[in-house]
Structure 1
Amino acid sequence: MRGHLAPSRLRATISAGLIRSTTPTIFRTATIATHRPSTKTTINPYVTFTSNIHTTTSKMSSTQISANAVLDLIKNRRTYYPLSKDLGSLTVERINEIVKEALQHVPSSFNSQSNRVVVLFGAEHDKLWDITSATLKAIVPEDAWASTEGRMAMFKGAAGTILFFEDETVVKGMQEKFALYADRFPGWATQSDAMLQHTLWVALEAEGLGANLQHYSPLIDAKVAETWSVPESWKLNAQLVFGGKTGDAGEKAFGAVEEKFKTFGSA
């Protein structure tokens, strides 16, 4: 394994327990407890622990991770269709913890923290795709419905969905407070939301799940807000569908990096 040190040099204790924290007001979860708990502790094979780890008597304060380890995680993130309801050894609680940690630590302009998230599992996840299906059936031509219906069934067959929102009250507040940048804050909020989407997609992939990102806004916004009591100021941006992988990801083509990259100067 690249960069992996012998056990004798691993000077950190990794706890199998989850990080204990209070659910913030910017995170909501609708949980159907149908998945078995796990007592296993899995060490991510892509994370390199080094001997240069600062610890205290009570907790690990920092861990150095190589850039290659991070890039490997990013490279491994792919789009998977279809997905199953099998979460393997992962529990609902563990997935919620991952989402909350990412939500707290993904950067935002001026530390505005405009990102909001709702996570749906089990019957609540199924309900989302029933809502989406009913919404689309009313507007999709009858001769094109079979294909759309198949996609809806595919998404419903997954284990859960993460809904990504921006709180427009926060954005408007930042526009008023920093009027010089007022026209920039909506774009900055969207950029922060995109970082959160990518972070969670990579994190779920690292835990062995597959995912695909969907965008059915604004068609389903009103019904989503009504069904899960979402505040009116929360603007829905995207839906990350996740679950067990049922096959391989498709081939991914890349354009020449020389056409997309420039560098200037030297150290």
Structure 2
Amino acid sequence: MSASIKSLIDLTKARRTIYELKPELPTGVTEQEITALASAIIKHTPTSFNIQNIRAIVLYGDANKKLWSSVYEATKEFPFSGRPKSLAETSYGTIVFFNDQTTIDEISKKFEVYKDNFPIWAANANGAAQIDIWKAISAMGLGANLQHFNPWVQESVKDKVDGSWNVVAQLAFGVPAGEAGEKQFADYEIKEFR
């Protein structure tokens, strides 16, 4: 196995959900590097029919705290509201991922036979970008956790994005303040056929 393939596997293994964060960046890492990294990965993530549906914004500082505080306020009656409250206090930043519905609608009109598949393919591409960015920021020394407070985040950021952008996920990040939990693996092997 080549060194570059081994590195890719190592990055995949190292990408873990870290809930305990400090609102800091690792020494030598800048906000500009994180934003540039996310931009490059999104630009080069393959999308069906090259529709390039993936959009993102990165929230730092007060914008990040405001996001998670507003999500907490909107969800505080729910049992899961502890997560956004914690993220308002512990995360340094958040990458909010979107799908541009206009691009999905336009390609669906051109290729009606696939119209039911385009939302699925758009979600697949978005997920690929999320995982690649997550691996990359983990390699930079950041811990992260992926959240799906989509309707509340959509409401919180509506003045920052185009109206056709629909929230898909949020990747909150900061310096790890704890370890990932024990990971369980399914007993599954890929079968080969010839």
TM-score normalised according to structure 1 size: 0.69
Instruction: State the AA in 1 paired with 2:136.
Output: A
CA distances 1:235-259 after superposition (whole Å, capped 9, x unpaired): 001110000000111110111123x
Match of 1:179 in 2: 112
Q: Which runs of 5+ in 2 are unaligned?
A: none
Match of 1:246 in 2: 177
CA distances 1:102-140 after superposition (whole Å, capped 9, x unpaired): 011011001110000010001110010011011113xx2
CA distances 1:188-231 after superposition (whole Å, capped 9, x unpaired): 001000001101110110111000000011233123213x2x11
Instruction: State the AA in 1 paired with 2:162.
Output: P
The alignment-based identity, stated in percent, is 39
Q: Per-residue deviation at 1:154?
A: 1.7
Match of 2:102 in 1: 169
**Of the two, which has the highest radius of gyration?**
1
Q: Which residues in structure 2 correspond to 1:29-108 (within 5 Å)?
A: 48=3, 66-88=4-26, 89-108=28-47
Q: What's the secondary structure of 1:80's corresponding residue? A: coil
Match of 2:167 in 1: 236
Q: Which runs of 4+ in 1 moved over 2 A?
A: 150-153
More helix per residue: 1 or 2?
2
TM-score normalised according to structure 2 size: 0.93
Instruction: State the AA in 2 paired with 1:263.
Output: E
Q: Does 1:126 align with 2:65?
A: yes
Match of 2:53 in 1: 114
Instruction: State the AA in 2 paired with 1:257.
Output: Y
Q: Which runs of 5+ in 1 are unaligned?
A: 4-47, 49-65
CA distances 1:124-174 after superposition (whole Å, capped 9, x unpaired): 10010011011113xx26xx5xx72x4223211110000000000000000
RMSD: 1.6
Q: What's the secondary structure of 1:79's corresponding residue? A: coil
CA distances 1:23-80 after superposition (whole Å, capped 9, x unpaired): xxxxxxxxxxxxxxxxxxxxxxxxx4xxxxxxxxxxxxxxxxx322111100110000
Instruction: State the AA in 2 paired with 1:264.
Output: F
